[in-house]
Amino acid sequence: MNRKYRKTIIAGNWKMHKTPSEAKVFAEQLKSSLPRAKRCSIVLCVPYVDIPVAVKLLKDSRIAVGAQNLHWEEAGPFTGEISAAMLADLDVKYVIIGHSERRNLFFESDLTVNKKVHAALKAGLHPIICVGEDQDQRELGVTLELIAYQIKTALAGVSPEDMRHIVIAYEPIWAIGTGNTATPEQAGQVCSAIRGVLRKLYGARIARSTTIQYGGSMNEKNAADLLAQEDVDGGLIGSASLNPETFLQIIQAANQD
């Protein structure tokens, strides 16, 4: 983390977990035990149907609500899809774009990720853009090239002014939901390479002010070591965000000096 130049953001990604009633219980518990220290921003990316209850309960807290996906068109015949304007109207602030589960299970491409980034920015949302390699790609030694490509494509046409709304999440696929967390050095190395890509695209000032999270089996035990890396500015947390106690412990780790 480097709080001098950029925000530290701890974001939960609930994936397809928790009904609205369960979300209500979670939000109440989390709100009542939040630490006073405000050194990190907190986001909860919940399923679409949980958004109204999460926004209502977290309204006066410092926890922002995020979504996990959106469609790139403003409206139209896209059965089952949700637009950026619909999310913004509910007071959603962040949206995860290009999560590896969306890319792999729902066939999203780098090009649709780019369209979604533009749609989110147009509606005033903060995209959390996910990038990451799978096990084979890591073993082949193409991680950094692949990630550079994913970042460049996701950000194609994004203006320097809009970069202040962008969050990048480095999520190695081999670490997601597996318990095989990247070592702090591995996470730090790729996050710093991502900052290098941003520097080439947008210059040093924007690169150093962009929040780059790590995600992939981050939990209350390994969070402090991962966050101790200069270029790891927070976490995108799946499993460990489902329990308010473990999520709070990660928030506390991000609040340390």
What residues from 230 to 249 belong to the interface with ligand PGA (CB under 6 A)? 236-240
Question: Shortest gap between Cβ of 131 and ligand PGA (angstroms)?
Answer: 12
Q: Name every residue whose Cβ is closer than 8 Å to that of residue 148 and which is 6 or more positions away in sequence.
A: 193, 197
Nearest in space to 16 (alpha carbons), one of 71, 67, 79: 67
Each residue of 109-135: b (16+ CB within 10 Å) or e?
ebebbbbbbbbbbebebbbbbbbbbbe
Of 6, 10, 13, 94, the one binding ligand PGA by CB under 6 A: 13
DSSP for residue 173: G
Question: Shortest gap between Cβ of 184 and ligand PGA (angstroms)?
Answer: 16
Contact 191, 215 (CB under 8 A): no
Of 8, 217, 222, 229, the one binding ligand PGA by CB under 6 A: 217
CA torsion through residues 200, 203, 205, 211, sign: negative
Question: Shortest gap between Cβ of 203 and ligand PGA (angstroms)?
Answer: 29
What are the Cα distances from residue 7, in Å, to 142, 212, 232?
29, 9, 11
Q: Which residue's CB is nearer to ligand PGA, number 132 or number 188?
A: 132
Q: Residue 176 interacts with ligand PGA (CB under 6 A)?
A: yes
Q: Residue 177 interacts with ligand PGA (CB under 6 A)?
A: yes
Is 99 annotated in the active site?
yes
**Tokens (6 digits) for 226:** 């991962």
What residues from 21 to 40 belong to the interface with ligand PGA (CB under 6 A)? none
Question: Shortest gap between Cβ of 242 and ligand PGA (angstroms)?
Answer: 9
Question: Shortest gap between Cβ of 22 and ligand PGA (angstroms)?
Answer: 17
Is 126 annotated in the active site?
no
Q: Residue 108 interacts with ligand PGA (CB under 6 A)?
A: no
Q: Which residue's CB is nearer to ligand PGA, number 10 or number 207?
A: 10
3-state secondary structure of 95: strand
Contact 157, 174 (CB under 8 A): no
Q: How many angstroms separate the CA atoms of 110 and 85, rounded? A: 22
Contact 76, 98 (CB under 8 A): no
Choosing from 99, 108, 126, 133, the catalytic residue is 99
Size of the site for ligand PGA (CB under 6 A): 13
What residues from 142 to 171 belong to the interface with ligand PGA (CB under 6 A)? 171
Query: What is the Cα Rg of the chain in Å?
Result: 17
Q: Which residues are catalytic?
A: 99, 171
| Residues at the contact surface with ligand PGA, assessed by CB under 6 A | 13, 171, 176-177, 215-218, 236-240
